[in-house]
Amino acid sequence: MRNISTLLTGASALFLSTAALADNHRTMSLQAKALQDDVAYDIVEGLTTEVGPRQAGTEAEARARSWSIKKLKSLGFQNVRNEPFMMPTWVRGAETAEVVSPYPQKMHITALGNSASTGTSGIEAEVVYFDSLAAMQAAPNGSLSGKIAFVTHDMHPTQDGSSYGTYGPVRFIGPNIAAEKGAAAYVIKSIGTDNHRNPHTGNTGFRDGVTPIPAGALSVPDADNLERMVKLAKKTGTPIRMKVMMTPQNIGQQESGNVIAEVTGKDPSKGMILVACHLDSWDLATGAFDDAAGCGIVAAAAKNIMDHGKPLRTIRVLWAGAEEVGLWGGKAYAEQNKGQNHAIAMESDFGADHIWRVEYNLPEGAKAVRTEISQALLPLGISINGPTATGGADIRDIIASNNLAIIDLQQDGSRYFDLHHTPDDTLDKIDPKQLRQNVAAWTTVLSIIANSDADFTMPAKQ
């Protein structure tokens, strides 16, 4: 009996080894195929050419949803649909800026999302300069009354995009602080790392009880020039006077929506894999990097799995609406789908340059899956030594409400903030080779997790 048992055990081990080899062969074969992918670029080209800018709550975003549903159906996805939701909508108007004295010249400015209007006559006032957000926070209450607050910063390129977290508050909360201190208007050095006269837009917010003020971003070179003017004028005791004119409007509740498509899995009892991007863009450009590329990447990878045969788990593709202006699509998705059986969430929303690192937040029971993914990504030049995964903006609410596992494939952000929220975010900035590397990495991960029967249930939060 002992000999028979030993033989059976050996045969079982051989079977498992063969199965593992077969899984590895499937994954690496799909990875190689994905390195020749054209689907992702085709999606980016279609969205940027046939639709163009896709600001949330507008007719252009509605056209993008129609285009997306048609496209995803043509690619063979199942259960393609729109899940509508309502959202407050802000739209841009005319915008100009100029230094009136003592060094008269025009400047390039763009309004920040949720900025108030100056009216068509604009606002002319003395500029009060701050070299950091902290310096403005320290200013006495009322000291900015009737003046234009100007805040600069020293943002620089980083591979992981961490400088955005450091300097982003100049835009995120700066206008609210300036309003609380009585400023008539607020201008910033764009939250970006380029040296072009392209101002960077982006959302801001005002707390309840704070009356919004006009808030805009100067292009980086113009802001640098204004800083030099301030320092020069300080020597002579002559204040800088500036005139800004921005006429945005809040047009009330408008419809947006989340476009959803699926690769139906063999076993509905297994938690689904959610892969996300956001469909909307700012209005200044066609949103190739932010985030048509992400939509192309996740859809192309899911299609690669679908074309190879039905996976064990369902893969759900989420092209979220209204991310740029308040994460409305992610919030709506979490609310409308909170009771559904999700297992893992992933998002692509950091451009189209190569993936250099993978990050995880998986349960102990999925250790073997983590090892398998890490080894399979090595041929693509992807490091495994990253911090704990946190997920993208459009999946944070569903992660929080369902306590989901997360895998982050981190893209190289070295040039991302040269393009972010500017008129330069256009198709020509996409490098097809790097885009394909993204698709190959995503295909590799999806091939493994969508066919894994591992338990991805996260431990209860303490």
Same domain, 109 and 77: no
Q: How far apart are CA 452 and CA 339, in angstroms?
A: 22
7: in domain: no
336: in domain: yes
Q: Counting every residue, how long is the chain? A: 462
Cβ atoms of 297 and 33 closer than 8 Å? no
Q: How far apart are CA 234 and CA 240, in angstroms?
A: 9
- pLDDT confidence of residue 22: 73
Same domain, 305 and 437: yes
Same domain, 305 and 339: yes
Helix (H) or strand (E) segment spanning residue 442: helix 432-449
Contact partners, residue 217, CB within 8 Å, separation at least 6: 109, 110, 112, 171, 187, 188, 189, 190, 191, 199, 200, 201, 202
Cβ atoms of 344 and 456 closer than 8 Å? yes
- Burial classification of residue 19, based on how many CB atoms lie within 10 Å of its CB (0-12 exposed, 13-18 middle, 19 or more buried): exposed
Among 226, 247, 268, identify where a domain stops: 247
Q: Whole domain around residue 329: which residue ranges?
A: 28-88+252-449
- pLDDT confidence of residue 384: 87
- pLDDT confidence of residue 7: 33
CA distances from 210 to 151, 173, 181, 205, 213 (A): 19, 12, 10, 10, 9
Same domain, 363 and 340: yes
3-class state of residue 189 by DSSP: strand
- pLDDT confidence of residue 369: 97
CATH code of the domain covering residue 322: 3.40.630.10
Same domain, 295 and 223: no
CA distances from 2 to 5, 7, 9, 191, 449 (A): 5, 9, 11, 71, 37
The CA angle 383-389-395, to the nearest 5 degrees, is 130
Same domain, 301 and 432: yes
pTM metric for this prediction = 0.94
pLDDT in tens, the chain (462 residues): 334 333 333 333 334 346 566 788 899 999 999 999 999 999 999 999 999 999 999 999 999 999 999 999 999 999 999 999 999 999 999 999 999 999 999 999 999 999 999 999 999 999 999 999 999 999 999 999 999 999 999 999 999 999 999 999 999 999 999 999 999 999 999 999 999 999 999 999 999 999 999 999 999 999 999 999 999 999 999 999 999 999 999 999 999 999 999 999 999 999 999 999 999 999 999 999 999 999 999 999 999 999 999 999 999 999 999 999 999 999 999 999 988 999 999 999 999 999 999 999 999 999 999 999 999 999 999 998 889 999 999 999 999 999 999 999 999 999 999 999 999 999 999 999 999 999 999 999 999 999 999 999 999 987
Q: How far apart are CA 460 and CA 129, in angstroms?
A: 48
- Burial classification of residue 55, based on how many CB atoms lie within 10 Å of its CB (0-12 exposed, 13-18 middle, 19 or more buried): buried
- pLDDT confidence of residue 355: 98
Q: What are 214's two structure tokens?
A: 């006009």
Contact partners, residue 190, CB within 8 Å, separation at least 6: 198, 199, 200, 217, 218, 219, 220, 223, 422
- pLDDT confidence of residue 18: 60
Same domain, 232 and 267: no
Rounded to the nearest angstrom, the gap between the alpha carbon of residue 176 and the centroid of all alpha carbons in its chain is 23
Rounded to the nearest angstrom, the gap between the alpha carbon of residue 138 and the centroid of all alpha carbons in its chain is 32
* Residues in a beta bridge with 217: 110, 188
- pLDDT confidence of residue 364: 95
Q: How far apart are CA 63 and CA 420, in angstroms?
A: 23
Same domain, 107 and 57: no
- pLDDT confidence of residue 341: 97
151: in domain: yes
460: in domain: no
119: in domain: yes
- pLDDT confidence of residue 19: 56
- pLDDT confidence of residue 20: 67
Instruction: Tell me how many domains the chain contains.
Output: 2
Strands across the sheet containing 249-263: 78-91, 249-263, 315-320, 272-278, 342-347, 405-411, 355-361
- pLDDT confidence of residue 181: 97
Among 247, 266, 301, identify where a domain stops: 247
86 closest CA partner among 256, 312, 330: 256
Backbone angles phi, psi at 231, to 5 degrees: -65, -40
Pairing of strands 148-151, 185-189: parallel
Among 228, 247, 266, identify where a domain stops: 247
